[in-house]
Structure 1
C-alpha cells in the first residue's frame, strides 16, 4: 500500500474524487456524500450556483452567463480551486465545522494507479484547502479491492478491474501490494461516445447532451446482452433539419459499435496476465476477476470478459462505492495487516 494501515487509522475522513462522482466518508459517520463531480458557476461574478445532481441537471440547459464545469477529469483534479469549493458545498457547513474541531485534521484520498506527482499534488492541495493538516494517498486499486472484500493481505492472487468513467484500471494483488497493473484510457465515457457516434452516422440522430448518459438513453435494462430486446426506440434531434425525431435502433448494431473501445480493455487484461507470475495466474483460474466502478454495470460487459479470458468474472455487490468503502474500512481499523512471525535463530 502507498501508506501503512496505522497511518490511515489516524485519518478522520476520506475522499474519492472521481471523474463522474465524488464520495466522502467520515470516520464514525459513514458515507456522507455521493454526488456527481459537477459545479455550476456564474461567470459574471464568479459565484457558485449549484453543485452535484442539481448542477448536472443544468448541463446543456444554461444561459450564456452560467457555466457548468467538471473540476475532476480522469480521476485527477484539473481545477483545484473549483474542486475545493465544490467539496465545501457538498460536505456542508455542519459537517465541516465538526471536522475542523479535530486536532491535526487528517484526510485520505484515492489516486489512480501510477498517477504522476502533479496529479498527486493536486489532490493533496484540494484537501489541504478543506483544512486537512496531512493527506494520505491510497491507490484506487487497493482501496477498491478492500471495499469489495478481496483478501488483499494474503499470499494469494486477487484480480480487480476498476471500471471508471474516464479510464479502466486492472491489477493483480497479493500480500497487500500490486504485483502487476495496467491503466487503460477507456471508460464509460468512451463507450457512451461510441454509441453517440454510431447513432449519428447510422441514423443521422443527435442525442440530448450530457444531462443524461447516452448509454442509459440508448439501451435500457439488459439491452447490450444477446438476451435483451432486438431493438429500442430513441428520441433525439435530426442532424440535417434540427427537428426532434424518433428512430428504432437495432441493439445488435449498438453492441458491435461499443466493441471497438472495449477491445483496448481486453488487451490490457491480457498484458496484466502475461506479466503476472504463473503461480498467481493459477489462483485466478478459480477466483476470477472482480469488477468494480460505475461502468461495471455496463450490461453484457462481464459476459464478454468471461468469454475472452476464460476465467470467472464477478461484479461487486455495490460496485460504485467500493473504493470509498475500502478507504472507510481502513480508517475504521477493520483491515488487519498480515503479521509474519520472524523465524527463531
Structure 2
C-alpha cells in the first residue's frame, strides 16, 4: 500500500472522484455524497446552474447557453476548477463549514492504478482547493478490495476487477500490495457506445444521449446470456427523417455487437494471470474473481467472465460504492495491518 494506514487514520474525509459518480465519505458520519460527476454551466456568465442528478437529467436537453460538463474522465480530474466547484456544491455549506473547523484538515482520495504524476497532482489540487492541508492518495484497486471485504493484508492471493465507466482495472493482490495489474481502456461507456453504433448502422436509429442508458433498454432479463428475451423494443429517432421510431431488436445481435469491448476485458484478465506467480494463480483457482464498480452490474457480464476464464466470479455487495466504502474503513481504523516481527539474529 503506497500510503500507510496510520496516515489514513488521520484523515477527516475521503473522496472517490469517478468518471460516472462522485462519492464523499466523512469520518464518523459515513457516506454523505453519492451523485453523478456532472455539472451544468451558463456559458454566458460562467455561473454554475446545477450539479449531480439534476445536471445529468439536463444532458441533451439544454439551450445553447447552457453546457453540461464532466470534470472527471477515467478517474482523472481533467478540469480542476470545475471539479472544485462541483464538489463544493455537492458537499454543501454545512458540511464544508464543519470540515473547516478541523485543525489541519486532511483528505484522502482514490486514484487509478496507472495514474501518472500529473493526474495525481490534479486530484491533490482539487482537494487542496476545498481547504485540505494534506491529501493522501490511495490506489483504487486497494480501496475497492478493502471495501468489498477482501483480506488484502494477508499472504493470500485475491483477484479484483474494478469495472468503471471509462476503464476496467484488473489486479492480483497479496500482503497489502498489488502483485500485478492491468488497465483496459474499456468500460460501461464503451459497451453503451457499441450498442449505439449497432442500432445506427443496422436499424438507422439514433438513441437519446447519455440521459438514457442504452443497456437498460437493450439488455433486460438475463442480459448477455442466451437465456435472455429474444427481442426487445427500442425507441429512438430515425436517422433519415428525424422522426421518432420504434424498432424491435434481437438481443442476440446486441450481444454480438458488444463482444468486441468485452473481449478486450477478458484479454486484460489473461495478461494479469500470465504475469502472476504460479503459487498465487493456484490460490485464485478456488477464490476466483471479485467484480466491483458500477459496470459490474451489467446483466450477464459476470457469467461471460466466468465462461471466458473458467474461474469462479462473484459480484461484490453494493459494487458501485466499494471504493468509497474501502476508504471509509481505512479512515475509521478498522483495517489492521499485518505485523511481521523480524527474526532474531
Q: Same fold (TM over 0.5)?
A: yes
Tell me the equivalent position of 1:323.
323
Give distance in 2, aligned partners of 1:223 and 1:73. Answer: 27
Q: By how many angstroms is 1:2 displaced?
A: 1.4
Q: After superposition, what is the alpha-carbon deviation per residue over 1:149-189, rounded to whole angstroms, capped at 9, x for unaligned?
A: 00100001000000000000000000000000000000000
Tell me the equivalent position of 1:283.
283
Give distance in 2, aligned partners of 1:219 and 1:36. Answer: 22
Q: By how many angstroms is 1:324 displaced?
A: 0.5
Q: By how many angstroms is 1:338 displaced?
A: 0.2
Tell me the equivalent position of 1:37.
37
Give distance in 1, aligned partners of 2:73 and 2:218. Answer: 24
Tell me the equivalent position of 1:261.
261
1:116 aligns with 2:116: yes
Is 112-121 or 224-233 further displaced after alignment?
Answer: 224-233
Give distance in 2, aligned partners of 1:323 and 1:7. Answer: 18
Give distance in 1, aligned partners of 2:65 and 2:37. Answer: 20
Give distance in 1, aligned partners of 2:219 and 2:116. Answer: 36
1:310 aligns with 2:310: yes
Q: By how many angstroms is 1:222 displaced?
A: 2.4
Q: By how many angstroms is 1:217 displaced?
A: 2.3
Give distance in 1, aligned partners of 2:294 and 2:221. Answer: 15
Q: By how many angstroms is 1:300 displaced?
A: 1.1
1:134 aligns with 2:131: no
Q: Counterparts of 1:1-345 in structure 2 under 5 Å?
A: 1-345=1-345
Q: By how many angstroms is 1:221 displaced?
A: 3.5
Q: By how many angstroms is 1:229 displaced?
A: 0.7
Give distance in 2, aligned partners of 1:68 and 1:290. Answer: 34
Q: By how many angstroms is 1:308 displaced?
A: 1.1
Q: After superposition, what is the alpha-carbon deviation per residue over 1:97-153, rounded to whole angstroms, capped at 9, x for unaligned?
A: 000000000000000011000000000000000000000000000000000000100
Tell me if structure 1 keeps the 8 A contact 2:224–2:304. no
Q: After superposition, what is the alpha-carbon deviation per residue over 1:39-59, rounded to whole angstroms, capped at 9, x for unaligned?
A: 001111111000000000000
Secondary structure at the residue paired with 1:270?
helix
Tell me if structure 1 keeps the 8 A contact 2:223–2:298. no
Q: After superposition, what is the alpha-carbon deviation per residue over 1:191-227, rounded to whole angstroms, capped at 9, x for unaligned?
A: 0000001111111100011112221122233232211
Point out 4+ residue stretches in structure 1 off by more than 4 angstroms: none
Aligned residues: 345
The gaps in structure 1 that reach 5 residues or longer are none
Give distance in 1, aligned partners of 2:264 and 2:40. Answer: 34
Give distance in 2, aligned partners of 1:285 and 1:218. Answer: 33
Give distance in 2, aligned partners of 1:212 and 1:108. Answer: 32
RMSD: 0.7
The gaps in structure 2 that reach 5 residues or longer are none
Q: After superposition, what is the alpha-carbon deviation per residue over 1:268-298, rounded to whole angstroms, capped at 9, x for unaligned?
A: 1000000000000000000000000000011
Query: What TM-score comes out, normalization by structure 1 length?
Result: 0.99
